[in-house]
Each structure stands twice: as C-alpha cells, then as structure tokens.
Amino acid sequence: MDCPTCAATATREQPQRTALGYRTFRCTVCRCRFNERSGTPFNFLEYPTDIVLLVVHWRLQYKLSLRDLAQMFLERGFVFTHEAVRAWEATPRCGASAPSLGRPASAVPTTNCAISSGFGSGKGRRCR
C-alpha cells in the first residue's frame, strides 16, 4: 500500500490493527504510520466503511427516512443519529462503490454522485 504522506511504495504492514480491525502500515521512507482507510473520505468515521455504504445505499434505493435508517441499524447494534446519515449521504465521494451497485463504471456521470436512486428521472443526487 502506498504511503498517503509521501506516496512511497516502500511500506510495511504492522501487526497491530485499528479499533475497527483495519490493517496498519508504516512507511520506511518518511516513517509515518497509517491504516488502509487513510487518505479516503471514510478516514475519520467511527463506523466500518461497508456499514456507511450500506446505509447510504438503502437511503437512496428504498427511499427510507433518516430516522428509520438510524432505528433499523440500532436494532442491529450500530448506534448513530439521523444527522450522521445525512452527513454520509452528502459526502461527494459517496459514489466510490458505484460499480458494485449494478451500474457499469462508464455509465457513472462525472457531475453527479455515483449512487443514485434508480427511480424517477434517472438523475443522481448532485455533488456539492
């Protein structure tokens, strides 16, 4: 994995993991420590990336309310507010997983978020 600080490819995986179980690395050039989410829009989230993407996907695909999603995941052991869901949905890079949602990468518009509702006029949510 490349170092997000100096972009060097000479990194070593460390035996310890983050609190969420992500692998940690150390750059042999600049000596900084980082994990596999460093340098991504999900770096400072306290929830696993797959949970955040699932919440945003369900919000856009099934038109669930913010509070309904927070309640559904509370029953599954994940505690967050409806405002957290709103912030995740507003993330401009929320569409990083678009190919896994059934749309080919070439069909993803550059001015819209890649995660779209799939209903209505076919336009995705506008990036900010």
Map 75-98 to HEC letters: CCCCCCCHHHHHHHHHCHHHHHHH
Residue 126 forms part of a structural domain: no
Whether residues 53 and 90 share a domain: the answer is yes
The pTM of the full predicted model, rounded to 2 decimals, is 0.59
Please report whether residue 118 resides in a domain.
no
- Per-residue confidence at 43, pLDDT binned at 50, 70, 90? confident
Does any domain span residue 128?
Answer: no
The pLDDT value recorded for residue 93 is 56
pLDDT for position 120: 43
**4 falls within a domain:** no
pLDDT higher than 80, residue 100: no
CA 14 to CA 121: how far, in whole Å?
48
Same domain (yes/no): 15, 61? no
Shared-domain flag, residues 53 and 92: yes
Q: How many domains does the chain have?
A: 2
At residue 123, does pLDDT exceed 80?
Answer: no
Same domain, 69 and 101: yes
Residue 41, pLDDT score: 80
Query: Which residue range forms the structural domain that includes residue 15?
Result: 9-38
Give residue-wise pLDDT tens across range 51-84: 999 999 999 999 999 999 999 999 999 999 999 9
